[in-house]
Structures are given as structure tokens and as C-alpha cells.
A and B are shown apart, each in its own frame.
Chain A
Amino acid sequence: MNNLATKSSQILTSSDIENLARRFGGKSDDYIEIMNTQKNQKTINKYALLKEIDDAIKTSKDKK
């Protein structure tokens, strides 16, 4: 027979709650910002045309 799952729920243990708080509370915006920047740079490096445009824009900014 198929055991059709029904939902149930439990209260959290204190270590669950600690985990939750660590996951949602801890990180600062700066940290997310750095992660995004790294991810974006990775994408740019992955594709030659994006890299070329990125380099061109950076040099034109440096000149100013």
C-alpha cells in the first residue's frame, strides 16, 4: 500500500533554534556584497566577450 505522507510538525529543539539564528541573523550586508562581487567576477571571467567589455570599461574609468 502506498503510504501517503501527511504533514506533521514539532516544536524546535534549542539547538535547532540556534542553527536558525546563525543562518538568518549572522551575516552582514557587506558579506553578501563580497559574495556577489566574487560571483559576478567569476561570470565575467567565464565569457571572453564579457571580459573584454569589463576590461574596456575599467580602463576608461581609470583614465578619468
Chain B
Amino acid sequence: MQRIFIKGIKGGIGSTSIVANLACVLKKSDVDVVAIDLDAKSDLGLHFGLKWTTTKGWSNEDTFEDALLHFRKDSDGVVFLPFGDNEATLDDITSIINNCKNLDYKESAWIIFDCPSHINISHYPLDQNDIVIELVTCDAICHSLIYKRLQTLKTVESTWKHFFVVNRYNAASVLEFDLFSLWQSTLPLMAPFFINSDEVIKEATANRNVALNCAPYSVANDDFETLAGWLVSKAAF
């Protein structure tokens, strides 16, 4: 199974929205997709039509066996696992990630983890086939965070495939244009495209759906298809 870990370099950048939209785009192209919520906010399920009153998830169980009962399938066929409303330590998260390896899926399936922004990705059990996407926005704080991350990535000798992807890009902003151009020509690990800021993403969520179903011809859906295609090429590498 191809594992993808998606996290924001800081909070609120859009990891949950991107996991949900990406999962549905991949599923549409006939890839089996499993999405796992690793964030205690436990909001991934809401993107997949999980009832608001369903609050339990893997964090409420002691064993993976019991956590299995919390898996759901959305109307597009994406299988997902809600976090739940209990607390989870790094050890708990690590063991969920490891246990997901035992899920009975074909080699061609993808498993996408919605990761909390505050846990350093290098604490996860990652291997060389894993893809880690760290989402950034084109602002000066992310510029600073990317430089810090690049320094730590050097010291931990990361073996996984690490990339930065720009989300919520505002084409009307001079600052964002300046930063995007600068990053493209000076930084390693930057994906060669951005995901535009698009109201469709918020509206789809408000309507309990994803861009693919609400607005298939939107900029947002185009961007998610670009992201999916690029990930497929990185996975094959």
C-alpha cells in the first residue's frame, strides 16, 4: 500500500480538507483509498458524511481489533477511520500507523493519514516508500518554518519522500507571487504547483461533500486532480 502523510507546517492550513478531497479524486480514478484521522480535532469524518453525533473512533479503543469497528465507507467508496473523542499519545498514534499495515488491501491501494500539525513527522514510523506532504501557505511565517524544517530534515537523515505543497494560493497577492517564485527557484522539496484558494472547498464542506461532487469543473477540483497525478508520479519513483 502506498502511504501518504499529510500535515500542515502550522495549524489550519488545510490538511483535513486536502485529505478528503484527494481521497475522493483518487477513488474516482479507481484507486482503493483508506483515510485515517490522526488529529484529535477528529473532523475528517465530517468531510465524508459521518454523522455529527458519531463521536467515537480509534482513540476510544484499546486494541486495533476494536478500532476496526469504527471504520466507515463514504458514498464515493472511500474507507475512513475517525479519530474519536479520547486523547492519544504519540505511542497510540504510532501503533495505529503500524497496525494499518495489516489491513487487507491490494498493493495498489493508498492509505492517507490526516496528521496533526503539532507533532513532528520524524517521530512517526516512516520508511523510504512513504510520502510526506507538508502543507504551507505563501507567507513569511511559513518561509521561516520551511527553513527550520529543512535544517531538522538534514539532521534526522529522513529516508521518506518529503515535499512541501502550497495551499490556499491567492493569485492576486504580490507577496504570495514573490514567495512562490522565490521558493520554486531556491528551495529543495517544493512541489512545482500550488493549490489555489477557492471558496468551493469551504462550500463543499458546508454542504457535507467534496469539490469533486459539488463543483467538478472548479479550480479546486482541477487542483486536486493535479495533486493526485503528481503524487502518482512520485509514488512510482
Interface size on A, residues (CB 8 A): 11
Residue-by-residue, is A28-46 near B (CB-CB < 8 Å gives 1, otherwise 0)?
Answer: 0000000010011001101
- Residues in chain A near residue B147, CB distance under 8 A: 53, 57
| Cα-based distance from A53 to B141 in the complex (angstroms) | 11
**A40 close to B140 (CB less than 8 A):** no
- Residues in chain B near residue A39, CB distance under 8 A: 181, 185
- The residues of B with any CB-CB pair to A shorter than 8 Å are 140, 143-144, 147, 175, 178-179, 181-182, 185-186
Confirm or deny: A24 has a beta carbon within 8 angstroms of a beta carbon on chain B.
no
Main secondary structure of the interface of A (DSSP, over half): helix
| Top 7 A-B pairs, shortest CB-CB distance | A49-B140, A43-B178, A43-B182, A36-B185, A40-B182, A53-B147, A40-B186
- The residues of A with any CB-CB pair to B shorter than 8 Å are 36, 39-40, 43-44, 46-47, 49-50, 53, 57
- Residues in chain B near residue A46, CB distance under 8 A: 178
| Cα-based distance from A46 to B144 in the complex (angstroms) | 16
Q: Which residue of A lies closest to B178 (CB)?
A: A43
Q: Which residue of B lies closest to A48 (CB)?
A: B140
| Cα-based distance from A39 to B181 in the complex (angstroms) | 9
Q: What's the least CB distance linking B20 to chain A, in Å?
A: 33
**B181 close to A43 (CB less than 8 A):** yes
- Residues in chain A near residue B181, CB distance under 8 A: 39-40, 43
- Residues in chain A near residue B182, CB distance under 8 A: 40, 43-44, 50
Q: Can you pick out 17 interface pairs between chain A and chain B where the beta carbons lie within 8 Å of each other?
A: A36-B185, A39-B185, A40-B181, A40-B182, A43-B179, A44-B182, A46-B178, A47-B140, A47-B175, A47-B178, A49-B143, A49-B144, A50-B143, A50-B182, A53-B143, A53-B144, A57-B147
